[in-house]
Structure 1
Amino acid sequence: MYRDHTVGVVMPAYNEEGLIGDVILTIPEYVDVIYVIDDCSTDGTWEEIYEAAKQDEATELEDQQGKTSKTVFADGGGLLSNRAEVYDQIERVVPIQHRENMGAGGAIKTGYLAALEDKIDITVTMDGDGQMDPDYMPRLLDPIVEDEADYAKANRLLYREFREDMPIFRFLGNSILTFLTKVASGYWKTMDPQNGYTAISNYALENVGIEMMYEYYGYCNDLLVKLNAKGMRVADVAVPAIYGDEESSIDYTTYIRKVSVMLLQNFLWRLKVKYLVLDFHPLALFYVFGALMTTLGMMGLGWSLYAKFMLGNSLFVRGSTSILVFSIGSMFMMFAMLFDMQVNESKEIQVRA
């Protein structure tokens, strides 16, 4: 336990032979249970998980009577058992094997479902490739233990020295997705949304609708949107990243396309749920009106240029009107973003180094 709170670690693994075993063995002793999800690996990952579990010498999870407690899943053949085979706990490790490959988000979702069954107080997610230093885990746990946040996530972008080892293409892509996720989620101070080193309280996990969580690589972004719609508090925690010999399995062309579409859908869903259904705030109308005006302005400017160069018509009146409409729409969008920042300001904290 960590400060009187049970802690579980969800660790997805796909073809992490040579890495996953070392990561399991470095998990701090205060962690009560480690859910390791093998996402149908084709190498020796599954065998390495078992070998590392047997070597783990940490004390097993005990109940109040001091007897060894085993992991029990009672979803009655529900979502968890339909998607994965959950094996007997070995020391702290619960080996879980997917019935079919579901991707990183799918593995995290499986681990979250298992943690919910066990009623773990705080559930941490970290990759099985060694990029996340377990020594920084208390920085993620403390905001939740101290009731300052319902969800905490690592941030590699806050300090230059924390991101200096990040490849440039990752930094640029992450920066773009950071801005898009700010708009979609409403957490305007939160950065590095792709970071999978996170911690979530049992309360947030129970109420965020984890059964509907996005299962592709954008699951982190999707979860932030759902947390905001439910009014959850988020802590953005400065934590450096470690880059070694691991290889990314992400197809960035597919990744950018899928995540961008998902963020747009989630943004519209959040506006509807948070500002129209559960409560009312004019910022939703500002967003809609602003988007309509900017679109009409751009279309009008395009038609004005066509009429000028192809038909010989005057550009001034049409062009000026289009620019004015575009400017008014942009102003409405900016006001909407400002209102969104004000509404969510109290829901965010930053934990600096």
Structure 2
Amino acid sequence: MTPSSLAIGLPGLSNTVLQLFLVAVAVLVFAWGFERYRTNFSRTELAVATAISLGLLTVGVLPGIFGAIGGVLNVERRSLVVSLLANVAFAFLLLYALAMIRNNQLSISELTRQLAIRNVDGRAHDEPTVGVVIPAYNEAESVRGVVESLPGRVLGHRVEAIVVSDGSKDDTRAAAADADAIVTEHPINQGQGGALKTGFAIAQQHGADVVVTMDADGQHRAADLESLIEPILEDRADYVLGSRYLGEDDSGNSPTRRFGIRAFTWFINLVSKADVTDCTNGYRAIRGSRLDELTLTEERFSAPELIIEARKNGLRIEEVPVTIRSRDAGETKKPKLGYALGLTRTILVTVVR
């Protein structure tokens, strides 16, 4: 090989090495973002990592696009390389900053929940107990009626209402306290998933044999409580889910929402090999001694996460008929935009982690 041919070949070799380097960096950046999402549930970091990865892949796999742009703008190759390396460095700094922000958010969330838990007397009861956890956000008009509808005892167990006011701006906490519920407050809104985790911790501290979750808007009937906890007390199940499709659906949901519930239920059954009919129902009962086995990270869309975690950890699941009514007051807190995407994201992440 002559010096001239070697000189001609080197640029091609250099380009190939640079392209492989960019593809490798793109894969690493995406893997980092996905791992951050899988462990810390940071959607922002995943989105930024995905965008950066796609940009790097475009440069590495389709360099002609940038060459054409460079030709139009009269950009020299050296300038492009320097700019590229500078942008890669900036991208890593940006991802690092996002990671620090997310870590701080998680620390604040954990501190918020721990303060809420410590504000409640943590002594366990001497008698069998059913802890009914009721997450509430601006539900002052309905939460008192929900608490007062609960029986004092069910199937030989003391019933204890635990209301977690999740950063409410109205009189939710006072209304629940007036009904003699155990009440705690998140000073910062943590989402339904965060409120449930706080309620679960309080129920466990109080030695609850069975933990029930119930909405604060009046859609769930106290009359169905016995059928929810009976399979657990009879040792037939560890996780009992109420189903409006085995019972009655008087919620007034639109046809679109009813179709969505059916579709996501099918999807959860497909990916987790569950056999449920109503995946978004928040009326459920869980054996208290098995709560610690569930990895719960979701802040907003907790229903599918609970079902999939129960399946992954071998909890025996049973469904019972319940009646879902329309809200007693107020408006739904479910997001109008992104609800379907949020459920999909939660299902996929919970399955793969």
TM over 0.5: yes
Report what 1:150 is aligned to.
238
Report what 1:47 is aligned to.
174
The number of residue pairs the alignment matches comes to 222
C-alpha change, 1:136 and 1:112, in structure 2 (3 Å) is same
Q: Counterparts of 1:36 and 1:184 in 2: how far apart (Å)?
A: 33
Q: Deviations over 1:26-85 (max 9, x none)?
A: 1111143211000111112122122222xxxxxxxxxxxxxxxxxxxxxxxxxxxxxxxx
Aligned amino acid, residue 240 of structure 1: T
Asked whether the equivalents of residues 11 and 127 of structure 1 are also in contact (C-alpha less than 8 Å), the reply is yes
Asked whether the equivalents of residues 109 and 213 of structure 1 are also in contact (C-alpha less than 8 Å), the reply is no
Q: Deviations over 1:233-258 (max 9, x none)?
A: 00111111111344112113222212
Q: Residue 214 of structure 1: which of 298, 323, 331 is its match?
A: 298
Structure 2 portions without partners, runs of 5+:
1-126
TM-score (norm 2): 0.60
Q: What SS is found at the alignment partner of 2:323?
A: coil
Aligned amino acid, residue 202 of structure 1: G
Report what 1:256 is aligned to.
340
Q: CA deviation at 1:114?
A: 1.1
Q: Counterparts of 2:220 and 2:200 in 1: how far apart (Å)?
A: 19
Asked whether the equivalents of residues 127 and 196 of structure 1 are also in contact (C-alpha less than 8 Å), the reply is yes
Q: CA deviation at 1:5?
A: 3.6
Q: Counterparts of 1:140 and 1:246 in 2: how far apart (Å)?
A: 26
Q: CA deviation at 1:231?
A: 0.9
Report what 1:26 is aligned to.
149
Asked whether the equivalents of residues 135 and 192 of structure 2 are also in contact (C-alpha less than 8 Å), the reply is yes
Aligned amino acid, residue 146 of structure 2: V
Bigger Rg, which one: 2
Identity across the alignment (%): 30
Asked whether the equivalents of residues 140 and 175 of structure 2 are also in contact (C-alpha less than 8 Å), the reply is yes
| Higher helix fraction (1 or 2) | 2
Structure 1 portions without partners, runs of 5+:
54-92, 270-353
Q: Counterparts of 2:345 and 2:337 in 1: how far apart (Å)?
A: 13
Q: CA deviation at 1:13?
A: 0.8
Aligned amino acid, residue 123 of structure 1: V
Report what 2:265 is aligned to.
178
- Alignment partner of 1:167 is 2:254: yes
Q: Counterparts of 1:181 and 1:96 in 2: how far apart (Å)?
A: 33
Q: Counterparts of 2:130 and 2:179 in 1: how far apart (Å)?
A: 19
Asked whether the equivalents of residues 116 and 206 of structure 1 are also in contact (C-alpha less than 8 Å), the reply is no
Q: Residue 314 of structure 2: which of 215, 231, 235 is its match?
A: 231
Report what 1:281 is aligned to.
none
Report what 1:137 is aligned to.
225
Q: Residue 116 of structure 1: which of 199, 204, 209 is its match?
A: 204
Q: CA deviation at 1:267?
A: 2.4
Asked whether the equivalents of residues 37 and 96 of structure 1 are also in contact (C-alpha less than 8 Å), the reply is yes
C-alpha change, 1:258 and 1:223, in structure 2 (3 Å) is same
Report what 2:114 is aligned to.
none
